[in-house]
Structure formats: C-alpha cells, structure tokens
Chain A
C-alpha cells in the first residue's frame, strides 16, 4: 500500500490520522533516508495525542518518552547505534514491554534485537513530495488505511 504525501503538512496529517487507530501498545518501524520526514510523522502523531511541547529528533539521546492524555509514546532513533547489541545496554526490552506506542526510526540498525513490528512505514523522497509505503499484517490497520487513502490522499498503487 502506498500513499503520496505532498508536503510536510501532509506527513504530519498522516501521523495524526494514524494516531486514531493505534492500540495502546504497538510497535512501529519508520524507515527512510535523512530528511525523509520520519520525525515529522511522529510529531503529527504526538500532536494528535495532545502533546503540546517540542518533538525533538532523538538522534543524540536515542530515546524520548512522552505521556499525554494517558497515552504513552516512546520514540527511538537508532541512527547512531554501531552494534544492535547496544540495544540491550539501553534496556530496549524494558521500553518495549510497556503499555506504549513504540516508534523506532532506523530499525535497520537494531536488526536481530527487535521483535516483529505491527506496522512498517517507509518514506522515500520524490522531489518535494514523499512516498509512504505501509506494510502491515494487521487487518483492521489495513482497512483503516485504505479508507484514509480513499478519503484524503491520492493512492498511487
């Protein structure tokens, strides 16, 4: 399933729409090159949950935790990881066991130490626009996203 996102606002809006269908506990992988809009999507999602403050890229801190309106969101960025084993050192399983929406940027860097995700979002750069590929085996997520695509976005596939 692929969605065309015209600009930054569209990427944020998708994040916001996505927030409506996520269970309290789920694992999402975010893939795409530097500047593709991974953190932008997470910002849209957090804003929709009611988070008011800044949404920083966790590149330097590796992980940022948020709690708003009773929803916990944990945002990882594994960009700077040199060995997936380092995930053990930051206590990855303690985070993933929580009742929280876990979003992981650069999951490729943690291969072998991360469980199967519920959803994989891959952003690719096409000029000013972004192509979003959605992969999930969860049927309700699939159906919801299909309706989102019909309503608001131009499906290209």
Chain B
C-alpha cells in the first residue's frame, strides 16, 4: 500500500510517499526558515498561511515525481499533534479532504512518534526494544520504545527544551535564528575556560532542566568584556554542558532499563558535539547507537508516512473527523 504522509506541525512543510513493502518512494520538504528568520522565530500565523500555499503543490509534485497518480494512494497520514494549532489544522484539513475525495482512510500521526520511528526508514534499522532520546526545539524526552505505539516516557525537560535553550542562548550571544547551528559554529573557536553546571545530574531521575543553564550563561556573559573570544568560550562551555548532560542521562536510562540500543532523533541530534559525546558514552556502555540521517532528524514527511503506514496496515484509521491536538501525551497512543 502507498501511503501519503503530510507534516505541517511547525515551520517545515513535508510530503512523502511510503510503500508498505517497497519502503520510501519519495519525499519533499519546503522550509520556512528564511521567512521566519526575519522575525527571530516561528510565527504561528505566518506558518499556517505558508503551509496553505505550499502543501497542495508539494503533494502534486511528490506523486508526479514518483510516477504515480492519486488512484495509487491507499491512505493518507498526517501530523495531528503536538504542534502549533493553526499549522496542524492545515495538514489535518488537507488530509481529511483528500481522504473523502479519494475514498481512502486517513490516519492521525503523533509528531514525536514520527521522530521515534525515523531510524526505521534506514536500510539498517534498529530492532525493538530501544531507548530513544528526542531532542528538538520544542521537546527533550527519553522514551522506552517496546514496539510501535508501546511507549513509556522515562524523562522530559521540566522547562526549556534543549533546542530552545540553544536558540535562547544564541540570542543572548547576539547570533541569529535559528541559533543552534550558529552557536555550535561559534563554539568551534572556543576553549575550555568556563565550567558550566550539568543540570539535574547530581540527583536521581531522568528529567532534564535547561532553563538554569540559560541563566548561568547570561551571568557568565555579564562577568566578561563580551569580546568575540569571550562569547566563543561561553558557547563552547554551554554546548559541552548540554552534550554531557544528555550523555549522563542516557547512560543512566540505559542502565536502568537494561536496554542495549539507543536511538537519537530530533533536530538537535544534528549537533556534532552532542553526537560525539553520545557515541563515546554508548561505546563505553557497549550499546548500539543509531542516528537517522540529518534530513530525517529534522521535521519531515517521510517519518509521518512511515508511522501512518504501520498503523493503516494494522487496520487503524479514524472516522470522518478532523482531528488535531496542540498537546498530546505520547503514552496515550494505541499499540499496533
């Protein structure tokens, strides 16, 4: 079965086609980052207006490039949450309209489930069960994955998400948006001059907190002359603190769950310092570590098409209701 996947939860419009036996057929992405960088962040109303403009042409292009027609599509998967409501509704309304017109089932997909399952798109996918670390602009969570739809939340950020901390710290250092990649560029010129705290690693538990690190960065910055080198050293200290904190928590989670496979996904997992720190930790713990390729780490339609395909193959779909939720706990999903 060919499944069309639509992703519109934030600032990327993603469309993909996944086939239950043949795998990923095609995927396209339109990013709104240039538009939002003028404003210093994702602007919800602009995001949904741009999804409206881009989504249908992208769907047409995706089907045409694959050499298919709308009759070949067996189901439509779309991101129903969590995310920006206006943006989600564009995908939800489009998916359900196509489902009615084509008389095919639609399936609501949880955005974070898409990220969790993204490594399944690779030729050498991890096998269940595994530990997943999801790190993005809006989320930081550790999840035990026993199978599709069988998730246990082990820990999450109690305040800022890791990517959000990167963005806000970058803003304090006078860098643009998105700040994360620029901050790691700056950190390359930094030296280990400051020692930042590793938040919440001195107490048990698997939750994260990055808000205090942001404040620590601000205080450190105010204590310097704020030269380029000062900023580079602070960026270095901040990035090292985040990378080590994530590694400490992942190590603890591997030990507690006795799992031997770690999957790292979400936009922040593209950060090379974080990748290196987690890889070294996994090697020491003799755990296998998987990173989806960068284009599947950030938001994309392929992961939504994959997750939707698994659910449609298990005969799950929704009735004729347009369903979207800005907040949607991942543990509420039904198993497959």
Q: With A57-B164, A86-B44, A89-B86 in contact, is A35–B159 under 8 Å at CB?
A: no
Q: Is the CB–CB distance between A90 and B44 below 8 Å?
A: yes
B156 CB–A CB distance under 8 Å: yes
Distance in Å from the Cβ of B58 to the closest Cβ of chain A? 23
Considering only CB atoms and an 8 Å cut-off, how many residues of chain B contact the other chain? 36
Given A35-B215, A80-B43, do A54 and B157 touch, yes or no (CB 8 Å)?
yes
Which of B44, B160, B161, B217 is the most central at the interface, judged by chain A CB atoms within 10 Å of its CB? B44
**Which chain A residues numbered 22 to 36 have a C-beta less than 8 Å away from chain B?**
33-35
Q: Which residue of B lies closest to A125 (CB)?
A: B218
Which segment, of B13-21, B34-42, B101-109, B247-255, faces chain A? B34-42
In the complex, what distance in Å separates the CA atom of A43 from the CA atom of B159?
Answer: 9
Q: Does A128 contact B (CB under 8 A)?
A: yes
* A10 CB to nearest B CB, Å: 13
Residue A113 at the B interface, CB < 8 A? no
Nearest chain B CB to A148's CB is how many angstroms away?
24
Q: Which residue of A lies closest to B223 (CB)?
A: A127
CB distance from B67 to the nearest CB of A (A): 38
Name B326's contact: one of A35, A40, A61, A128 (CB within 8 Å).
A61
What is the distance, in angstroms, from B193's C-beta to the closest C-beta of chain A?
Answer: 20
Given contacts A34-B171, A60-B161, contact A89 B212 (CB under 8 A): no
A155 at the interface (CB under 8 A from B): no
Do A60 and B164 have beta carbons less than 8 Å apart? yes
B211 within 8 A of A: yes
Bound complex: CA A34 to CA B168 (Å): 7
Which of A55, A79, A89, A128 is in CB contact (< 8 Å) with B44?
Answer: A89
* A56 contacts across to B, CB distance below 8 A: 157-161
Question: Are B84 and A61 neighbours in the complex by a CB distance under 8 Å?
Answer: yes
Q: Which of A60, A64, A83 contacts B42 (CB 8 A)?
A: A60
Complex contacts, A98 vs chain B, CB 8 Å: none
If A34-B168, A57-B159, A82-B39 touch, does A39 touch B219 (CB 8 Å cutoff)? no
A110 contacts partner chain B, Cβ-Cβ < 8 Å:
no
- Which one of B86, B156, B160 contacts A59 once the chains associate, using CB atoms below 8 Å? B160
**Do A34 and B218 form a contact, CB below 8 Å, given A60-B138, A79-B41, A86-B45?**
yes
- B43 CB contact (under 8 Å) in A39, A61, A86: A86
Main SS of chain A's interface residues?
loop
* Known pairs A34-B171, A34-B172, A54-B158; A82 contacts B138 (CB<8 A): no
Indicate with 1 or 0, residue by residue over A31-72, a CB within 8 angstroms of chain B CB atoms.
Answer: 001110101100100000000001111011110100000000
Given the complex of chains A and B, what is the CA–CA distance between A127 and B219 in angstroms?
A: 7
Q: CA A115 – CA B44 in complex, angstroms?
A: 22
From A33, A57, A60, A62, contact of B211 by CB (8 A):
A57
A8 within 8 A of B: yes
A 122-137 contacts with B by CB, 8 A: 125, 127-128
B137 within 8 A of A: yes
A88 to B138, CA, bound (A): 23
Q: What residue of chain B has the Cβ atom nearest to residue A63's Cβ? A: B326
A37–B215 CA distance with the chains assembled, in angstroms: 8
Q: Are A34 and B214 in contact (CB under 8 A)?
A: yes
Going nearest first, the 7 A-B pairs with the smallest beta carbon separation are: A80-B41, A82-B39, A35-B215, A35-B218, A60-B138, A54-B158, A89-B45
Interface residues of A (CB under 8 A from B): 8, 33-35, 37, 39-40, 43, 54-57, 59-62, 64, 79-83, 86, 89-90, 125, 127-128
Known A-B contacts: A60-B161, A61-B82, A82-B46. Give 6 more (CB < 8 A).
A60-B138, A80-B39, A82-B39, A89-B44, A89-B86, A127-B222
